[in-house]
Amino acid sequence: MIEGILIGLQTALSLKNILMVMMGCFFGTIIGMLPGLGPMTAIALMIPITYGFEPSTGLILMAGVYYGAVFGGSTSSILINAPGVPGTVATAFDGYPMAQQGKAGKALAIAAYSSFAGGTISAIFLLIAAPSLSKISLAFRSPDYFALMVLGLTAVSAFSSKGQFLKAMMMVILGLMLATVGQDSLSDITRFTFNNMNLTDGISFVLIVMATFAMSEALTIILKGKDPSRATEQISLSELGSISLDKDERNKMLKAIPRSSVLGFLIGVLPGAGATIASFLAYGMERNYVNEEEKQKFGKGSVHGLAAPETANNAACSGSFVPLLTLGIPGSGTTAVMLGALLGFGIQPGPRLYMTNPEIFWSVIMSMYIGMVILLILNLPLIPYIARVLATPKNFLIPLILFFSVTGIYLMSFNNFDIFLMIGIAVVATFLRLYNFPMPPLILAFVLGGLMEENLRRSLLISDGSFNFLWDRPLTAIILAFTIIIISWQAFKSFKK
């Protein structure tokens, strides 16, 4: 392994590759900040550029873009409540309220430190445990994945809905329903398209996110513009605040980082789980760890609530490289794009990768750590400038949010049907948000819908239509037991009131 690390360091520390990581982090941050343009879009845009490079250089550039875009996504979540990627949805829960309280600088600093710490810790885990960790993900079967997704959705509904569990669960079902629109992945039969060709490929994830977050947020701000109770909120939006953290904030952040790093990395290793589930579970887990007084601050600008998902989503990014590099199975949508790029280079990732192409395997791992350092050096000094987005007057900011949202959608399909669909969904989402129907459960359900159906299909086919698969394997039963505990706890809380 020492030999591999040295090979990796030699490749990653070449001037060309360091420049690539820097460029990747910088462009990734800028692209990730724009609502609608997340890591997947950023990496996809880089693929044609990387074909002129050696495979290791190309992958290093894409890894830099990935981390940069995830951090950039957190920035837009915190500043304008418009997560560009699902992995940063949980960041908005406490990051955005902090920004509204005039602590945008602090929120961005916490996000930068937590991302750095989460990424660094998990890069070390990856370095030490990459080969053996792949065995853990091999132990997971379809029923376990299905159970894990049910647990993730239940946990999100329980923790993000502020006592409105049933409303959140209805949003989960709505998200899953939206995910079924389009062609069935196995039989290619079209479902719920109403003979509209534009719906054959389903509804794009970016469209749903833009409609339910960015556009709906813009409409809500305008709608509540005359509400006197929102006056302080708007005044504080123009305050940038300091980026330095006091002792109490540092202590809270340092408590959240280790546990969220471990959780994020382990979730990231599981193919399909990725940064989204990791950030939501870390948020939920952190809420359970803190005392009752701190628990009340969740959703209102808690340091714990911001540091935990930020640490976990970056840790999961490193974790998601484990199945990609060792099994050839992408752990997330973004690593799926990277898998496509690797295949374009003529490289087949899998257990033999670090024997046949050790320089690629180890240099990517080493460049992750270098990328983390560069990201921190690059982003912390830029925070006061990034936070100036908040100082933009509402009359300019709202149309600009709409511009990036609508343009992001239009650039994906060059079709105005998507614009109309987005407006329709945004209007409904704005109305639902007025009545406290939470949107994050809908987003997560939409992302996981396809995978959930796929794993349920495999489980039911293996068990010949019987639901015994839910308790046949101890791992599935344990995961489902956790789900039942969460539902029972919510029911108990509801009746206790």
Partner 1 sequence: MRISTDKIISLLFFILSVFYLYQTYQIQVFSFDEHAPFNAKTFPTFLAYLGMFLSVLYVVLPEKNPSIVNHKVLDYKSSLYLVIITIVYGFVILKAGFFLSTSLFLFFSYYFLGERRWIWMFILSFPLVAIFMYLLHGILDVYLRDPLLKMLGIIG
Q: Which residues bind partner 1 (CB under 8 A)?
A: 45, 48, 163, 166-167, 169-170, 173-174, 176-177, 180, 184, 186-187, 189, 191-192, 218-219, 222-229, 393-396, 398-400, 402-403, 406-407, 410-411, 414, 416, 419-420, 423, 427, 430, 432, 434-437, 452-453, 456-457, 460-461, 463-465, 494, 497
Q: Which residues pair with 182 in a beta bridge?
A: 191
Q: Are strands 190-191 and 182-183 parallel, antiparallel or unpaired?
A: antiparallel
- When the beta carbons of 196 and 356 are compared against partner 1, the nearer one is 196
- What is the DSSP code (8-state) at residue 228? G
- When the beta carbons of 171 and 366 are compared against partner 1, the nearer one is 171
Q: Tell the smallest beta-carbon distance from residue 485 to partner 1 (Å).
A: 19
Q: Tell the smallest beta-carbon distance from residue 192 to partner 1 (Å).
A: 6
> Buried b / exposed e across 307-345, counting CB within 10 Å, b at 16+?
bbbbbbbbbbbbbbbbbbbbbbbbbbbbbbbbbebbeeb
Q: Tell the smallest beta-carbon distance from residue 397 to partner 1 (Å).
A: 10
Beta strands in 123-215 (DSSP E): 182-183, 190-191
Q: Tell the smallest beta-carbon distance from residue 394 to partner 1 (Å).
A: 7
Helix (H) / strand (E) element for 90: namely helix 89-100
- When the beta carbons of 25 and 150 are compared against partner 1, the nearer one is 150
Rg, Å, the chain Cα set: 22
Q: Residues with Cβ < 8 Å from 100, sequence gap 6 or more? A: 233, 236, 237, 301
Q: Tell the smallest beta-carbon distance from residue 358 to partner 1 (Å).
A: 33
Q: Tell the smallest beta-carbon distance from residue 45 to partner 1 (Å).
A: 6
Q: Tell the smallest beta-carbon distance from residue 463 to partner 1 (Å).
A: 8
For residues 56 and 348, what is the distance between their CA atoms, to the nearest angstrom? 13
Written as six digits, the tokens of 56 are 């290791």
- Cβ of 21: how many Cβ atoms within 10 Å? 27
- When the beta carbons of 84 and 331 are compared against partner 1, the nearer one is 84
- When the beta carbons of 278 and 447 are compared against partner 1, the nearer one is 447
- When the beta carbons of 241 and 449 are compared against partner 1, the nearer one is 449
Of 59, 49, 71, 75, residue with least CA distance to 21: 59
- When the beta carbons of 365 and 452 are compared against partner 1, the nearer one is 452
